[in-house]
Chain A
Amino acid sequence: MFYRLSGVHHTRYETARQIWPVPTDRRVVYILLALALAAPLYLPDLYLSSYVLPWLVWSAAALSLTLLMGIAGQLHFGFAAVMAIGAYSSIHLARAGVPFELALIGAGVITAVIGTLFGAAALRVKGLYLVMATLAMQYLVDWVIINVPAISGGAQATLNTPEVSFLFMPLSGTGLYYGALLWAVIVTVFVLNIKRTSFGRALVAIRDKDYAAAVIGVNPFKYKLLAFFTASFLGGISGAVLAFCYYQAVTPEQFGFNVSIQLVAMVLVGGLGSVIGAYLGAGFVLLAPMFLTNAVAYLAVWGVLPLSSSLLAHIPLMVYGLLIVGFILFEPLGLAKIYDNIRKYFLVWPFRHTQS
């Protein structure tokens, strides 16, 4: 009815290989893209710059992390440090007079090289120990950034981003939004397609069982490092885009350990390894506490909530924790699974069952 299909049935390999086997999905994506492109026309500046823009950049970051954690199966609890390396490298490159386009790529390469060192631990251990190792690296990177004045510009310093232009367009006003949108689209297209390449399939094999992958001729050494390299490259540029388009300044606190946890929460709440999940998860984790804080403040002003101020101040943190716990307990596959269930329901509506 809505999808004008009675389930998805492949009769040729070409259709099975398509990104969007269902035409309606493709149309929905086009509509969303058009809406995103036209957003500055119908959304107030406040919403655009303080909600939509960070959502897009965080989605790109969550996509990079989901590539590493969901597709390649390498757990990473220090991804904020990776983004910090990207942000700081890009700012220093841009300040040194490197054109912004090259500064972004340079930041990506620097981050990828350092991020691959993170991955060196992955060659030796996995699972829980990898979590601990990357967590320790997060603290190390934080410390180096804070304590080396050449990087952070001093102990409590804030580095403002210089005025830059991207492809001859000055990066300001709505240009910031389009920069973030462009980066989100690039990462999305990349991650969507990587699952269809031999590289992506090798990563999936490593995720499922690295010994078994080695037996069928996938080199775990090479592909684990490549996974870290690719994800760090994307994560580094996401950090740079975040710094230039959203914060317009960097301080070490923007990329602390809590941000790493937040990124993992985005990936898990959205659904591990899912592209749409990264968007939904980033939106949920980022925006739910914002809206909640506003709602609580609103209710408190009207005196509806007779609660102490310290409790009110901590409600967002509690809800954030509850959100993580709740999703893992009740929907481990995340928002992507919820979306998928709804989509499958409408795929064959008014009938009940579908095969795929």
Chain B
Amino acid sequence: MDIAYFIELLINGALTGMMYGLAALGIVLIYKSSGVPNLAQGAMVMLGAYFAWIAAAQWGIPLPFAIALAVVGMFLFGLFTERFLLRRMVGQPIIMIVMLTLGLEILLRGLGPGLFGAAPKSLDIGIGLAPIIIGDVFINRSYLVGAIVGVIMIGLALLFFRTRLGTKLRAVSDDHVASWSVGISVERAIAISWGLAGASAVAAGVMWGSVQGIDWTLSLLLFPAVAVVILGGLDSIYGVLVAGLIVGILGSVIPGYVDPIVGGGTRDVVTSLIILLTIIFRPHGIFGREDIERV
């Protein structure tokens, strides 16, 4: 149990955590504006990765433009999802909304591999495989890039909420009726938040797709992303940053020491325990806003 092993787990865990944050960002964006828990975010990450892969590998578009094209595609996909699915669900019980997004997840999980082939696709974004070596510590280069992208995206999201449009979104997240009464189009704000969630799903999909290949398993990112979101607070962007680090580090360090003893699979247990303990002790998460229920 030398210290270099621990530091390696710590750093790679933190980097993975930032990449989880990338996938979790979309859930927060949507929940913040409309109160809808988007459990289809995992499948949207998968779809974003497929879009980027089609543009880059099938159509031969240079990578930056391919990603830009995928962002546009997923933005539109988000808009359409909101317009045709979620807008009809306003006022329905939460179970219906949860199940609708889960149904969408299942649909996309069939549609993606069905249309583009089930074999994993590789997406080369020009990051070498050689690890960065600092002293005795090996750092995975793609995780590092992914984490940087994650921090940038979270920073952009924070900045976005300071712009004029972002201010509108914050108003909508505070109170729908009050926003209507001052002339903010709540529908458009929610639609934009779905579009942005789609766009952030492309970032997550490209980074994760370059690490582990593009197939339906990308949608399994939903589970750690949900842990990040619950721990950080469903409506907090800062929460994604902090909780991403916590989930990533715990999900790397604990399995690093426990897995050899119990024989694997501890990461899911750590993630489940994080969700469970958060909900039992602090349901609204670290930075989330506490719900006040009126009878």
Binding site for B on A (CB under 8 A): 69, 75, 120-121, 124-125, 127-129, 131-133, 135-137, 139-140, 143, 146-147, 155, 209, 211-212, 261, 264-265, 268, 272, 308, 310-311, 313-325, 328-329, 332
19 new A-B pairs (CB below 8 Å) besides A75-B94, A120-B280, A129-B230?
A: A69-B95, A75-B98, A125-B283, A129-B283, A132-B275, A133-B279, A135-B275, A140-B273, A140-B276, A155-B263, A268-B96, A272-B95, A313-B114, A315-B114, A321-B108, A325-B104, A325-B107, A329-B85, A332-B96
Q: Are A310 and B113 in contact (CB under 8 A)?
A: yes
Interface size grouping (class) on chain B: 35 or more
Residue-wise, chain B 113-133 has the 8 Å CB interface mask toward A (1 for contact) of 111011000000000000000
Q: Which of B103, B106, B268 contacts A143 (CB 8 A)?
A: B268
Question: In the complex, which residues of chain A have a beta carbon less than 8 angstroms from the beta carbon of B103?
Answer: 265, 321-325, 328
Question: In the complex, which residues of chain A have a beta carbon less than 8 angstroms from the beta carbon of B276?
Answer: 121, 133, 136-137, 140
Q: Are B102 and A324 in contact (CB under 8 A)?
A: yes
Residue-wise, chain B 89-101 has the 8 Å CB interface mask toward A (1 for contact) of 1001011101110
Whether, in the assembled complex, B164 has its beta carbon less than 8 Å from a beta carbon of chain A, the answer is no
Whether, in the assembled complex, B271 has its beta carbon less than 8 Å from a beta carbon of chain A, the answer is yes
Q: Are B94 and A318 in contact (CB under 8 A)?
A: no
Question: In the complex, which residues of chain B have a beta carbon less than 8 angstroms from the beta carbon of A140?
Answer: 269, 272-273, 276
* Smallest Cβ-Cβ distance to B264: which chain A residue: A147
A319 to B103, CA, bound (A): 10
Whether, in the assembled complex, B82 has its beta carbon less than 8 Å from a beta carbon of chain A, the answer is no
Say whether, besides A132-B230, A132-B279, A314-B110, A329 and B118 are in contact (CB < 8 Å). Answer: no
Q: Are A127 and B94 in contact (CB under 8 A)?
A: yes
Question: In the complex, which residues of chain B have a beta carbon less than 8 angstroms from the beta carbon of A311?
Answer: 114-115
Binding site for A on B (CB under 8 A): 37, 85, 88-89, 92, 94-96, 98-100, 102-111, 113-115, 117-118, 223, 226, 230, 234, 262-265, 268-269, 271-273, 275-276, 279-280, 283, 293, 295
Q: Which of B107, B265, B279 contacts A129 (CB 8 A)?
A: B279
A85 to B162, CA, bound (A): 50
A317 to B118, CA, bound (A): 13
Q: Which of A75, A131, A211, A325 contacts B100 (CB 8 A)?
A: A325
Q: Are B279 and A125 in contact (CB under 8 A)?
A: yes
A310 to B113, CA, bound (A): 7
Q: Which of B94, B100, B293 contacts A328 (CB 8 A)?
A: B100
Q: Are B295 and A211 in contact (CB under 8 A)?
A: yes
Question: In the complex, which residues of chain A have a beta carbon less than 8 angstroms from the beta carbon of B280?
Answer: 120-121, 124, 133
Question: In the complex, which residues of chain B have a beta carbon less than 8 angstroms from the beta carbon of A75?
Answer: 94-95, 98
* Smallest Cβ-Cβ distance to A321: which chain B residue: B107
Question: In the complex, which residues of chain A have a beta carbon less than 8 angstroms from the beta carbon of B92?
Answer: 332
Q: Which of B230, B283, B295 contacts A209 (CB 8 A)?
A: B295
A211 to B292, CA, bound (A): 13
A279 to B206, CA, bound (A): 43
A129 to B295, CA, bound (A): 19
* Smallest Cβ-Cβ distance to A148: which chain B residue: B262
Q: Are B262 and A321 in contact (CB under 8 A)?
A: no
Question: In the complex, which residues of chain B have a beta carbon less than 8 angstroms from the beta carbon of A261?
Answer: 102, 106
A135 to B227, CA, bound (A): 11
* Smallest Cβ-Cβ distance to B285: which chain A residue: A129
* Smallest Cβ-Cβ distance to A307: which chain B residue: B114
Question: In the complex, which residues of chain B have a beta carbon less than 8 angstroms from the beta carbon of A146?
Answer: 265
Which residue of A75, A132, A311, A332 has the most chain B CB atoms within 10 A of its CB atom? A132
